[in-house]
Homo-oligomer: A and B are copies of this chain.
Amino acid sequence: MTIKAAIYGASGYTGQELTRILSGHPQVELIAVTSRRFAGKAVSDVFPSLYGLTTLKYEDAAPDAIAGMCDVVFLALPHGVSMDIAPAFVKAGKKVIDLSADYRIRNLTTYEKWYAKHKSPGLLADAVYGLPELYRSAIETSSLIANPGCYPTSIILGLAPVLKNGLVDPSTILADSASGVSGAGRDPLIGSLFCEVDGGFKAYKVGKHRHTPEIEQELAVLAGEVFAVTFTPHLLPVKRGILSTLYATLTNEISVSELCELYASFYGAEAFVRVCPEGVYPNISSVAGSNFCDIGLAVDSRTRRIIVLSAIDNLIKGAAGQAVQNMNIMCSLPEESGLKTAPLYP
């Protein structure tokens, strides 16, 4: 069986990454990629790395034109734009994987407080939060996936085992994260210039990043209670990767080795979560190029806090790779299909 897939908004870094992964996916035929900016240009003219790997050209096509050709559509569009496009594909009976935030927040008021007026709130109830490790069975039968944000993916996977097991006080949770520059996309902004980023490190949108409500929504499900989280994103001088350093105060004592066992057991069957051995902490360069989330664990017994380190490639497990993982689940393909690439190290 071959799945026919299309990518809407394919000329950004996430769209490129989807193009790259789907071009090498053994059960997928990529049939269309859209881009207003680069319409008419070959993909390989915009991304010479893909020369010889795809002969597609960017189109500026309406959803109806695309929907007729494909089984699955990936929306790699900015927040607020996806919800203009998604309904047409859903209506046409296609599987939709939306990489924007538009269908991630179940509570409409919360979405509109952090983002903007919602244009298709009627679909919110149908959307499934596409984190396979937590929502696999719902994903199987869904036709609208809200693919998780990059920071939330690293944070939720990092905290799920302790929250599910009631080991920490949720009100003490604090997420200190750092992301590579590709997270800011390919728009030509002064702040994303090499000379502005290289050699630098800074926090941004402190206490105000839009991923906060998404993080809080999912951690609340895990903890069984609602609470606020302090989330501080930083900009790293690297192309790919997110490391989240997560802090929480323990409700009961636990040793590091017990913690490592708990996580290993929680994620034992997962193909894309790797729990580091005791005393080993993940490095974003050890997951770059792969769909892995690596998790390391520490206990600071002097302060009764646990420290969880969670690393992903923001463009893969934090975006395009997770989207393909969701597609595999929705289409009853092997979950690792097209995603077996080992990290590229060094």
Contacts and interface: CB of A to CB of B under 8 A. Distances in A.
B245 A48 contact: no
Interface of A: 13, 16, 20, 23-24, 47-53, 171, 174, 176, 178, 181-182, 186, 188-190, 192-204, 206-207, 228-230, 232, 234, 236-241, 243, 245, 247, 274, 276, 280-290, 292, 294, 296, 298-303, 305, 307, 309, 311, 340-346
Given A194-B198, A239-B199, A280 B48 contact: yes
6 contacts: A20-B342, A49-B287, A201-B285, A202-B284, A240-B346, A289-B289
B24 A342 contact: yes
Contacts of A181: 193-195
Contacts of A280: 48
B344 A286 contact: no
A212 to B, nearest CB: 8
Interface centre among A23, A174, A188, A202 (most CB of B within 10 A): A202
Nearest to A16: B345
B300 A201 contact: no
Task: List 3 tightest A-B contacts by C-beta distance, closest first.
Answer: A200-B285, A195-B346, A49-B345
B198 A300 contact: no
B289 A206 contact: no
Given A189-B188, A287-B49, A305-B230, A281 B204 contact: yes
Contacts of A341: 24, 341
Interface centre among A48, A229, A343 (most CB of B within 10 A): A48
Contacts of A182: 195, 346
Nearest to A192: B193
Contact of A206 (B52, B229, B309): B309
A307 B232 CA distance: 9
Interface centre among A188, A194, A245, A289 (most CB of B within 10 A): A194
Contacts of A302: 207, 228, 230
Given A182-B346, A281-B206, A342-B49, A303 B199 contact: no
The copy count of this chain in the complex is 4
Given A53-B342, A198-B285, A203-B281, 18 more contacts: A47-B286, A49-B286, A49-B343, A50-B342, A51-B294, A181-B194, A194-B196, A198-B239, A200-B238, A200-B283, A202-B309, A204-B281, A206-B307, A207-B301, A207-B307, A230-B300, A236-B236, A239-B346
A326 to B, nearest CB: 21
Contacts of A53: 342
A294 B49 CA distance: 9
A201 B274 contact: no
B342 A195 contact: no
Contacts of A194: 181, 192-194, 196-198, 237, 239
Contacts of A274: 51-52
A200 B284 contact: yes
Contacts of A190: 186, 188
A181 B192 CA distance: 13
A198 to B, nearest CB: 6
Contacts of A51: 274, 276, 286, 294
